[in-house]
Amino acid sequence: MTDPDTPARAYARIRYRLLVVDLVAWFVFLAAVQGLGISHRFAAWWAHRTPHEPLIIFGYLAFFGVCQYLVMLPLHVYSSFLLEHRFRLSRLTLAGWLTREAKRLAVSAVIAALLVEGFYAILRHIPNGWPLWATIGWVGCSVVLARIFPTVLLPIFYKTTPLQNEQLAARLGELCQRAGIAVLGVFRFQLGAETRRANAALAGIGTTRRVLLSDTLLTEFTPDEIEGVLAHELAHHRYRHITKLLVMSAAGSWVAFALTNLAARWWLTPLGLTRLSDIEGFPMLALWLSLLGLIGLPLQNSLSRMYEWQADRFAVAATRPQAFAGALRRLAALNLADPDPPRWITWLFYDHPPIAERIRAAESHG
* Residue 284 identity: M
Q: How far apart are CA 211 and CA 186, in angstroms?
A: 5
Is residue 67 within 8 A of residue 116, CB to CB? The reply is no
Q: According to the model, what pLDDT value does residue 3 have?
A: 52
Residue 337's SS3 state is coil
Question: What are the two backbone dihedrals, phi and then psi, of residue 364, each rounded to the nearest 5 degrees?
Answer: -70, -15
Q: According to the model, what pLDDT value does residue 208 have?
A: 85
Q: How far apart are CA 302 and CA 29, in angstroms?
A: 29
Question: What are the two backbone dihedrals, phi and then psi, of residue 183, each rounded to the nearest 5 degrees?
Answer: -130, 155
Q: According to the model, what pLDDT value does residue 339 have?
A: 87
Q: What is the mean pLDDT of residues 18-38?
A: 96
Model confidence at 2, in pLDDT bands (50, 70, 90)?
very low
Q: How far apart are CA 258 and CA 242, in angstroms?
A: 24
**Mean per-residue pLDDT over the chain, rounded:** 93
Residue 215's SS3 state is helix
Tens of pLDDT, residues 280-292: 999 999 999 999 9
State yes or no: pLDDT of 238 exceeds 70: yes
Q: Which residues pair with 212 in a beta bridge?
A: 187, 201
Q: How far apart are CA 355 and CA 329, in angstroms?
A: 8
Catalytic residue, chosen from 194, 220, 233, 280, is 233
CA 365 to chain CA centroid, nearest Å: 31
Model confidence at 365, in pLDDT bands (50, 70, 90)?
confident
Whole-Å CA distances, 20 to 78, 225, 338, 348, 352: 15, 34, 17, 11, 19
Q: What is the mean pLDDT of residues 114-131?
A: 95
Q: What is the mean pLDDT of residues 197-201?
A: 92
Is residue 309 within 8 A of residue 353, CB to CB? The reply is yes
Neighbours of 224 (CB within 10 A): 15
| Of 122, 141, 138, residue with least CA distance to 130 | 122
| Of 316, 303, 292, residue with least CA distance to 364 | 316
Q: How far apart are CA 283 and CA 34, in angstroms?
A: 6
Tens of pLDDT, residues 297-309: 999 999 999 999 9
Q: According to the model, what pLDDT value does residue 207 have?
A: 83
Answer yes or no: 363 catalytic. no
Tens of pLDDT, residues 133-184: 999 999 999 999 998 999 899 999 999 999 999 999 999 999 999 999 999 9
- Comparing 195 with 50, the larger pLDDT belongs to 195
Q: According to the model, what pLDDT value does residue 4 have?
A: 56
CB contact set of 122 (below 8 Å; sequence gap of 6+): 130, 133, 134, 137
